[in-house]
Each structure stands twice: as structure tokens, then as C-alpha cells.
Amino acid sequence: MHTIEADYLVVGAGAMGMAFIDTLVSETEARVVVVDRQHAPGGHWTMAYPFVRLHQPSAFYGVNSLRLGGDSIDQVGWNHGLYELATAGEICAYYDHVMRRQFLPTGRVGYFPMSEYRGHYRGQGRFRTLAGVDYTVRVARRVVDATYMRVTVPAMRRPPYRVADGIDCVAPNDLPRLGAHRRYVIVGAGKTGIDTCLWLLSQGVDPDRLTWITPRDSWLLDRETMQPGTLFADKLKASFTAQLRAINDAASTEDLFARLEGAGVLLRIDPAIRPAMYRCATVTRLELEQLRRITDVVRLGHLRAIEADRMVLDGGAVTVGGDELFIDCTADGAEKRPATPIFDPGRITLQSVRGCQQIFSAALIAHVEAAYPDDAVKNELCVPLPHPDTDVDWLRLALADYTNQLRWFDDPELMSWLSAARLDLFGHLIGHLLPSAAAKPRVRDRILSIAKSVFATTATRLEQLMAAEAALAAP
């Protein structure tokens, strides 16, 4: 048994763990041991399907201290005219660079890949390496759980439905290595399902050869409204203003979604189907046009079994010909986990504190850990936001975002940190609206005062809409 000492033991070197370590190491002299079961840093990205890309600009991903990509604008493809989206390979190479060129040279980070964490007891963490060597870590401050969000991709587990012998059912990872099939059945309507449909279409597969099993239609975000830089500043401000106006003018939840769609804040694939799901997925208008080319969409609930001659779903069965390739896209990459306090004695549990921005959230949590002495204050600043799942969760997430932001507005030091945080999408919006405190302090204070008032009013209206929706849903 080997014993090592550290201030922090970070369990998981995925995207959240890396963002947390980066900020902690940048802002403190802490010693960190990071234990990870994967062979390289990056978490689920090390097992992602080869054609996956970020759904958000690279500018908002990675770690605060190092830019991901070159801030270039795509000139070809269905993301044409928008900022680049990193590939899985680029992301894995980026995280390897961060670990080996930034973290390890400090001499304050110990990295143990291919290791199994075995728990923590009375200030000591334990893990075992691939070589079978057991380690004890004497933790001076906290164990950081960077695995709580349970990010899962299809390659990590078997399909959750029965698959009869002789049926070709694969994860998206296998798709580029396989030959052509007469028909493709894409199982799942989340980000992975969207990616798979778009990849097949981009390869020239006729949309009539695709069947898309869609248990629930989803509201989608327009990626153009989530772009960095001055080029898109007006679009970003207009979209955010439209969102505030829609919330405050809406007479009901149904009316709110109609207004959000009318303003281009939310999109849907089939205009005739009212989405019941919201999972933060983004598309461009060009991608939306492509997805609408797929007409064989099965809306009979979740798939339960693939048999020799039929698919069995919640709402019935669909005949199959026996020569289909089924592509399992059902893994839950953004599971709706129960919220738990982020800061506990001896422990930090990484979670989102801004909707759909878990990487930024991890960096913010690290800053709060470094800059504030009291756990009660830390938890007040970092209220966790479980991932959304249903359409009504859009309201819950928006309310939590506004509430958290109102807390942050009252802390000048934190606002200063946020304005410089590369990973913060909302910070880019604030940066375009607020002059620096040094240049025009009175103007800045006046704008902040107006923003607080608008956010408070909007939060109150969201609470009213949610209460009305709950009353309608009550038996």
C-alpha cells in the first residue's frame, strides 16, 4: 500500500473534473490527485462516436485557461457561418495537452489513469491502478466527485431493449466501419440520434432509407443565438431580450412556448407535433432542414424489443424486413440527477449551476471553493440545477438561472471573475452590455440595477406560470 498526500482528491478526469482542476490549480497552490478509470483525460469523449462534434461553439468548452480551437468560423457544411465545433479527436487531444503540458508540469497534480476509485473514509481515499497497486490518499481538504452527473454514451453499455439473435444493432461508434445497408433505423431522439441522422444524410444516404424512432419530440435551441464575439453580439442580445419578453407577456405555458418559437429562441423539427422534451440540444437552421427530410418517424414511445420481423414499442409494433441496421442512440448523456449540496464537509459534488453549462459550472465551483471561506456562502452561490428532461423543465431551468444570476449580481468580485471567464456564455452577453467598472462605474451600476429588476420580475412570472401549469396537471 502506497500513501500520498494531497489537498484535493478529484475522482474523474472528464470535462467537469478537468475544468475544476484547471481553475483550482490556477487560483491556488493546492496539491491535487486525480484518479480516473479511462486511459486518457476527457471522460466520455474518449469513448465517443467518431463523427461527434460539440453542439456548442468550441469557444465555450474545455478549461478556462486555454482556448479550444482557433475561434474560426466554419466556411462549409451545415454549421456554415457559425463558430467552429470541435471534433471528439480535437477534444481528446486538447485535454491530453492540458494534462501533460499544464497540470503535470506544476508539480502539484498527480494523475492516475486506468485506476479504480475505492471510496473515502475518515480523510483518506483509496484507489487501485491497472498494475494492481493500491494507494491511499490522505486528503487535507476535500474529495471532489466529478462523476456524479453520470455522462453516458452508447459505447458504454448495452441497448436497454431486447435484441433478437441475428439482428444487426450497433452503437454509433461502429457505423463508419460498416458497409452500406438497405435501411437504417435510428433509435433515440436526443443529441446522439440527431448527430447520427445528420451524419447519414451528410454521407448521401437517401432520407427515405431512414427510420427514426422518436419517443418524444424535443424543443431545440438555435445555435446561432449561442455564438461568441462581436459578430453575433446583436443576435445574442436580441434573442435574450425576446426570451425575457416572451416570459413576461405569456398568458400560459403553452402561450410561452408559442412566443419562444415565434421569436426563434426555440425550434422544433415537426411543426405539427408539440414537443414534450427539452434536453438543451442545439441545431442550426440548415441542420433543421435536413432533419425534416426524414419522413419515416415512429412515434410509439420507447423501443422495448427488436424481434426477427418487428419492433415492439410502448404503443404498438412495427413490421421490419430483416435487413435493417439498428443504431442505438438511447444512452442518457445528460441524465436528470437529483440535486445535492455541492459543498459538504470534506466533499465537493460537481453539478451544473447554470443551465446546460456544466463545464463552466465546474470552473465556477472551483473559483468559489478557492475564494470563499464558508460552506454556507459557497452553497448559496452555487445552487445546483438538475439537467432538464421535459418541456416544462425549460421554465424550471430558466427560473433557476435567473435566481442564481441575481445572487451573483450582488457580489462584485464574483461578477468580475464571471466577466473574464472564457467558458461562460452568459458572461459574453453581459460583457457586451456592461462597460468596465473602472471606465464608467455609474453607467455600469445603473445597467446592473436595471438587470436585477428585470431578472426579479421575470423570475416571479416564471414562478406564476409554473404554478399554473402544476394546477392544470393536478388530478
Looking at residue 35, its pLDDT comes to: 98
The reply to whether CATH 3.40.50.620 applies to domain 2-147 is no
Q: Could you read off the pLDDT of 202-220 as tens digits, one per residue?
A: 999 999 999 999 999 999 9
CATH number assigned to the domain with residue range 158-328, chosen from the 4 options 2.60.120, 1.10.10, 3.40.50, 3.50.50: 3.50.50
In contact, 172 and 188? CB cutoff 8 Å: no
Q: Could you read off the pLDDT of 281-314 as tens digits, one per residue?
A: 999 999 999 999 999 999 999 999 999 999 999 9
Average per-residue pLDDT in the chain? 93
Pinpoint the residues of the chain covered by CATH 3.50.50.60: 2-147
Q: How far apart are CA 173 and CA 195, in angstroms?
A: 12
State the pTM of this model: 0.95
Instruction: Count CA atoms closer than 13 A to 212's CA, side-chain side.
Output: 25
Burial (CB < 10 A; 0-12, 13-18, 19+), residue 115, is: buried
Residue 438 has pLDDT above 60, yes or no: no
Q: Could you read off the pLDDT of 314-356 as tens digits, one per residue?
A: 999 999 988 899 999 998 877 888 999 999 999 999 999 999 8
Q: Which residue has the cell 456524479?
A: 148
Q: Which residues, in sequence order, are CB contacts of 29 under 8 Å at separation 6+?
A: 108
Looking at residue 264, its pLDDT comes to: 94
